[in-house]
């Protein structure tokens, strides 16, 4: 009888192949006290381990295909930079001296401190960056303890499905360039680097599959369904035939999608739809161009701040935004001012006291910037200056009331006047918009729309605030439901407010990138989607094969329902 394991599908697609169960040796770390006279010897041993870990990473990088995109190789470079970071090196050396302990234990204690910083973050993407820290820590520990390096030899595993507790970004890149069929891991989240890489590389993948390494053994025949997040173990012939047929259909569908690159995004009833992409850095624009030629509907600028671990200067920010514009070659760039504070504090900035008890509702985003205008002014000036080199839009996150908006607009006007006085060029008509991600802002969308040039719905936060749950909390994240009737009413309210005011409304949360919701959103009146780059062509395909005039009356009936399960059933029919 066929057994199944359920996890979370993070990279869509179906794979069929033999299992290879991959287990990595873990270093055994224990505390050992040393005399003061041994401190320097132990520090030298630690520094040697750092060099050894660096050599291992460079050797892995040399194994990766030369045509690998730069933004994917950057994951390896990030780990190499971490090895040189004082947070690893100096903290561990200080522990050796102050605790009079062996290097393994000193590194372990320093690692606990670093990991806690990321565990305290509320932002799901930044929280998963702890994976990088943990990976580097384990590699150094393996070098200190002489634990054998069990590198995944992906070159010998073509057409196999990898089964593992977890995979590193380096493992995932090697898998992607050695014709491995797919992978399933026991741990991991949809926002982990491994999951993101799998999606970017087009490898069918499932994470968070409980006890998968215990239930599957090397040599088992597997069907990996990345759509539904299910692994079928030793399936019967009928199941194999069914999924092989699906693979053939999927291959044809992907070939058809590629033909949409560069084509207009317009419905069957001739309604043009704006379809842009979300990015974290100028390097991500290469990923956009891989799929389509379009603009950026959301540029998350806080990644520049996080990567530098400090508030960048106005000039640094200006160069960052100008670089993105040059890569877009005339396409628009929507820059969101930084969403930092509370849960995403920078270690090298001023101490603002203890971590907030509820960081998601603390001093973050525009609240933080309005409290410290010296942080907001350089960013506004940098965005304005960049607007002289291409079409730029400025978007303000986490607004909750009109008083905040008035204060922001006053700052913008002051910055414009400063630039005029200094005879610095900028776009006088640069559009300013708000990210609607708080229920209070959605309910007051009419007022915001009357003062702004555009609105953008951030569904990730809007849903968690509306439903009073933390979407990264395992105890409650199953309640995170974009189809909750209250969520849909808030979204419709914002779309209608924009229409009444005659300004565009975009949707840039994860909901926009999920094909399940595209027709629903079109029927609600949304005409501007901003999605993850790898979702561009699929969303365009659905839009180009939809009729808004026939969707509207059906969606109107859906919005009158009060039960999420009934709504989901009707949305499935909408997509049939």
Catalytic residues: 193, 508
- Specify the pairing of strand 274-279 against strand 296-300: parallel
Phi, psi of 84 (to 5 degrees): -95, -5
CA 403, distance to chain mean position in Å, is 31
Location of structure tokens 């396409």: 331
Distances (CA, A) of 304 to 33, 322, 417: 41, 13, 26
User: Beta partners for 334?
Assistant: 393
| Integer Cα distance of 72 and 111 in angstroms | 25
Phi, psi of 230 (to 5 degrees): -120, 135
| Beta strand ranges found along 312-423 (DSSP E) | 333-336, 392-396
Q: What angle do CA 212, 216, 222 make, to 5 degrees?
A: 100
| Beta strand ranges found along 359-486 (DSSP E) | 392-396, 432-436, 454-457
Helices (H) and strands (E) in the chain, counts: 25, 16
| Beta strand ranges found along 159-252 (DSSP E) | 161-164, 182-185, 205-207, 221-225, 230-233
What count of Cα atoms within 13 Å lies in the side-chain half-sphere of residue 443?
A: 8
User: Beta partners for 457?
Assistant: 436, 507
By the 10 Å C-beta count (0-12 exposed, 13-18 middle, 19+ buried), 550 is classed as middle
* Other beta carbons less than 10 A from residue 147's beta carbon: 16
User: Beta partners for 232?
Assistant: 4, 223
| Integer Cα distance of 395 and 405 in angstroms | 11
| Integer Cα distance of 25 and 45 in angstroms | 21
| Integer Cα distance of 114 and 90 in angstroms | 13
Location of structure tokens 């290879």: 20
* Other beta carbons less than 10 A from residue 270's beta carbon: 8
Polymer length in residues for the chain: 576
Tokens of 190: 């949809």
Distances (CA, A) of 130 to 119, 174, 326, 516: 7, 21, 32, 30
* Other beta carbons less than 10 A from residue 420's beta carbon: 12
Distances (CA, A) of 260 to 42, 265, 539, 542, 576: 59, 9, 11, 11, 21
């Amino acid at each position: 009888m066929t057994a199944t394991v359920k996890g979370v599908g993070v990279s869509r697609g179906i794979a069929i192949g033999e299992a290879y169960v991959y287990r990595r040796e873990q270093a055994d770390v224990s505390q050992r006290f040393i005399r003061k006279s041994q401190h320097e010897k132990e520090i030298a041993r630690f520094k040697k381990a750092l060099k050894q870990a660096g050599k291992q990473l460079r050797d892995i990088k040399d194994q990766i295909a030369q045509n690998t995109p730069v933004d994917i190789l950057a994951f390896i470079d990030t780990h190499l930079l971490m090895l040189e970071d004082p947070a690893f090196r100096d903290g561990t050396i200080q522990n050796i001296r102050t605790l009079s302990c062996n290097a393994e234990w000193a590194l372990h204690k320093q690692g606990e401190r670093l990991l806690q910083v990321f565990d305290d973050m509320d932002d799901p993407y930044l929280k998963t960056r702890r994976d990088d820290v943990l990976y580097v820590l384990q590699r150094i520990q393996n070098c200190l303890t002489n634990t054998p390096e069990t590198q995944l030899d992906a070159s010998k595993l073509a057409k196999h499905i990898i089964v593992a507790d977890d995979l590193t970004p380096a493992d995932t890149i090697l898998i992607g360039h050695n014709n491995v069929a797919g992978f399933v891991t026991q741990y991991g989240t949809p926002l982990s680097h491994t999951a993101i890489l799998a999606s970017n590389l087009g490898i069918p993948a499932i994470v968070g599959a409980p006890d998968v390494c215990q239930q599957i053994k090397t040599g088992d025949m597997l069907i990996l369904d990345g759509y539904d997040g299910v692994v079928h173990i030793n399936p019967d012939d009928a199941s194999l035939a069914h999924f092989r047929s699906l693979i053939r259909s999927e291959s044809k569908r992907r070939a058809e999608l590629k033909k949409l690159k560069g084509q207009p995004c317009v419905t069957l009833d001739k309604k043009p739809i704006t379809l842009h992409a979300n990015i974290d850095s100028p390097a991500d624009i290469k990923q956009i161009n891989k799929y389509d030629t379009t603009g950026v509907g959301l540029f998350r600028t806080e990644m520049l701040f996080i990567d530098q671990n400090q508030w960048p200067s106005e000039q640094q920010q200006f160069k960052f935004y100008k670089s993105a514009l040059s890569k877009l070659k005339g396409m628009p760039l929507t820059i969101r001012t930084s969403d930092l504070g509370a849960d995403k504090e920078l270690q090298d900035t001023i101490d603002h006291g203890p971590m907030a008890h509820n960081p998601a509702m603390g001093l973050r985003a525009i609240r933080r910037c309005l409290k410290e205008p010296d942080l907001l002014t350089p960013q506004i000036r940098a965005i304005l200056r960049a607007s002289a080199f291409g079409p730029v839009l400025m978007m303000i996150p986490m607004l909750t009331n009109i008083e905040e908006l008035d204060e922001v607009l006053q700052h913008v006007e002051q910055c414009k006047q400063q630039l005029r006085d200094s005879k610095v060029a900028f776009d006088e008509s640069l559009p300013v918009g708000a990210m609607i991600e708080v229920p209070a802002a959605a309910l007051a969308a009419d007022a915001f729309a009357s003062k702004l040039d555009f609105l953008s719905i951030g569904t990730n936060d809007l849903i968690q605030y509306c439903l009073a749950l933390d979407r990264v909390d395992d105890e409650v994240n199953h309640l995170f439901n974009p189809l909750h009737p209250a969520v849909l009413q808030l979204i419709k309210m914002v779309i209608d407010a924009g229409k009444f005011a005659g300004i565009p409304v975009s949707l840039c949360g994860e909901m926009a990138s999920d094909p399940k919701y595209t027709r629903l959103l079109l029927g609600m009146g949304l005409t501007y989607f901003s999605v993850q780059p790898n979702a561009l062509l699929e969303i365009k395909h659905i839009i180009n094969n939809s009729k808004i005039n026939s969707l509207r009356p059906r969606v109107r009936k859906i919005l009158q329902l009060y039960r999420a399960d009934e709504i989901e059933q009707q949305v499935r029919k909408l997509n049939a």
